């Protein structure tokens, strides 16, 4: 499906979120009519819900942890792009590290100490942005490095790549929503979580 079609579907879906189907009071047959919810709820509240659904720490999946929320709290009016910049640096660095890991694990004589160093660096940087599942995959990866299990390392590399891809997509979606809020004249709500 091409991007324009996906965008159109997203717009249509978003519009449908602002429409409520209720029984008509005038129609005795129970025919449904649409009432615009924009007059009933704040757009900001709806966006808060969407943000919460995207960023909430799902204790079973654990995509992000409290570190991401702490990172968001460091952002202020003097540096409104702080989180985007930090996360972008993480993804640039992680891409380089993942490429280095791929090369290192393709060598005939794998230098497990070197591989472990790359994974340790990736684990630290993923932890600093709250990418909990990336960090957890790195912990497993380091365990396989310690016992010099090449197949375990290769499997973990694929898992780390998948987790990086997933968190990158989710955070890009979040950042797009935040840009839409700001472009609409709103402000980004802070989400408070109990851990």
Q: Output the furthest CA–CA distance in the chain (Å, rounded).
A: 79
Q: What are the structural domains of the chain? A: 3-41 (no CATH), 66-183 (1.20.120.160)
Q: Helix H segments across 111-149?
A: 112-129, 132-146
CA distance 106 to 89: 26
The per-residue pLDDT for 98 is: 98
CA distance 31 to 33: 7
The full 3-state SS of 89-121, as one line of letters, equals HHHHHHHHHHHHHHHHHCCCCCCHHHHHHHHHH
The per-residue pLDDT for 194 is: 58
Asked if 51 contacts 173 with a C-beta cutoff of 8 angstroms, the reply is no
pLDDT of the chain, 195 residues: tens digit per residue? 444 444 444 334 334 433 433 333 444 554 444 444 443 344 444 455 455 554 444 444 568 888 988 898 898 889 889 999 999 999 999 999 999 999 999 999 999 999 999 999 999 999 999 999 999 999 999 999 999 999 999 999 999 999 999 999 988 988 888 788 777 777 766 665 555
DSSP codes joined into one string, 28-65 = TT--EEEEEGGGTS-HHHHHHHHHHHHHS--TTT-SS-
The per-residue pLDDT for 118 is: 98
Residue 141 Cα distances to 115, 136, 159, angstroms:
9, 9, 9
Asked if 127 contacts 70 with a C-beta cutoff of 8 angstroms, the reply is no
């Amino acid at each position: 499906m091409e991007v324009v079609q996906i965008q159109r579907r997203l717009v249509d879906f978003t519009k449908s979120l602002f429409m409520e189907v209720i029984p008509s009071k005038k129609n005795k047959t129970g025919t449904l009519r649409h009432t615009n919810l924009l007059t009933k709820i704040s757009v900001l509240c709806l966006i808060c819900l969407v943000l919460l659904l995207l960023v909430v720490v799902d204790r079973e999946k654990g995509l992000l942890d409290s570190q991401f929320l702490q990172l968001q709290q460091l952002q202020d009016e003097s540096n409104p792009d702080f989180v985007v910049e930090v996360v972008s640096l993480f993804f640039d660095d992680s891409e380089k590290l993942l490429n280095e890991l791929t090369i290192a694990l393709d060598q005939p004589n794998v230098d497990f100490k070197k591989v472990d160093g790359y994974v340790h660096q990736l684990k630290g940087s993923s932890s600093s942005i709250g990418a909990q599942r990336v960090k957890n995959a790195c912990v497993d990866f380091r365990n396989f490095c310690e016992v010099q299990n090449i197949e375990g390392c290769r499997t973990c590399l694929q898992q780390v790549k998948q987790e990086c891809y997933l968190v990158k997509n989710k955070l890009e979606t979040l950042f797009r929503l935040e840009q839409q809020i700001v472009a609409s004249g709103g402000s980004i709500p802070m989400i408070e979580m109990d851990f």
